[in-house]
Structure 1
Amino acid sequence: MDFPAEWTMSALKSLLPDPILTFFNAYILSPASPIQALLRQLQPLLSHMLTLLAPLFDRLTAALASSPDAVVLIFFLAVVVFVVQLLAYLQRIMLFWTRLAFRMLFWAGVFALGAMVWQRGLEQSARDAAVVGRGLVSFGTMCREVFLKEYRRYDDLEKARRAGAAGGGYGARGRGGGYGY
């Protein structure tokens, strides 16, 4: 074993159980493994690319060393991109679980309704649905009446305020117009 493989295995011994370490030794780090054969075939290409790209890396490191503001800016942009990606991922997770919960709720309601019809019969279920529908209609009528009553009250207050402002006086609410200042 060469130095990086020994260092990697010593670092992984404290993290991984023995069967996984045995798997790594037998199938990944073994000289006869397909991964090692692929690395042996890619070694000349990687070394050639390293010799071609070494001057570029040298210029890049020199440019970054001469302008620390660019390093800070690049680091800041990398952090911003990372945070945006993380938030997008969290949004997708929340959407998935919320959608799943509402689907489960919908289908639970459908199955509960089917079980009710199965247990009570179609005629009794229709009567129950009529009673529930009548209750919902009366509740809606009550909400409508409350809304219209409040709307008329607000409209009357507005008309009184406008009439008081048009008359040149302070109106029914005094000098501040009822706004508290």
Structure 2
Amino acid sequence: MDLIQDWSSYLFSPTSPLRPYLSPVLSTTTSYLPLLRTYTTTLTNALTQKPDLATLALLLLILILSLKLLNMLLNTVLFWIRLAFRVVFWSALGLLGVWMWTRGPEGVLEDLGTWVGMWQQEYRRIQDGQQEVVRGRREAYGRERGAGW
């Protein structure tokens, strides 16, 4: 709190270099204070005479503040998710560049051909396994149907 008092005494002193800039702002603010006091007095009187209105206003204020907090939380989560995706994207791009630099275009094409062949072989193996399962189910289904009825 001492820091605020020190700065305020410095800013509002007559020898402050910011005095020409702060003077119009302060005069405008002090001219609006009576008007602001009138409105706040009227609002306070209305709220004290009708406590239901005050309760409703308080609930509305709590709702608005909670929605603002949730919005801030959402923005924070979205920032970190975007940052993570960007880091992954640029890291993958950098690794791709390093791979192409070290292996060269022919080596990269050779590696890709090896990987495509391996994936096709695994895909065929899985398809054959699934077809065997389907055939086994059809045979079992046919046996149950004929045997039961």
User: What SS is found at the alignment partner of 1:121?
Assistant: helix
Which residue number in structure 1 is paired with residue 24 of structure 2? 38
Give the alignment's TM-score, normalised by structure 2: 0.68
C-alpha root-mean-square deviation of aligned residues, in Å?
3.5
Give the alignment's TM-score, normalised by structure 1: 0.58
Which residue number in structure 1 is paired with residue 9 of structure 2? 25
Which residue number in structure 2 is paired with residue 103 of structure 1? 86
Shift of 1:43: 6.1
Taking only the aligned residue pairs, the percentage that are identical comes to: 26
Distance 1:43 1:86, change over 3 A: closer
Distance 2:42 2:127 in 1: 73
Shift of 1:59: 3.4
Distance 1:30 1:133, change over 3 A: farther
What do residues 76-102 of structure 1 show as CA deviations (whole Å, max 9, x unaligned)?
111111111111122122112211211
State the aligned residue count. 136
Unaligned runs of 5+ in 2: none
Distance 2:26 2:104 in 1: 75
Structure with more of its chain in helix, by fraction: 2
User: What SS is found at the alignment partner of 2:13?
Assistant: coil
Unaligned runs of 5+ in 1: 1-11, 158-162, 164-171, 173-181
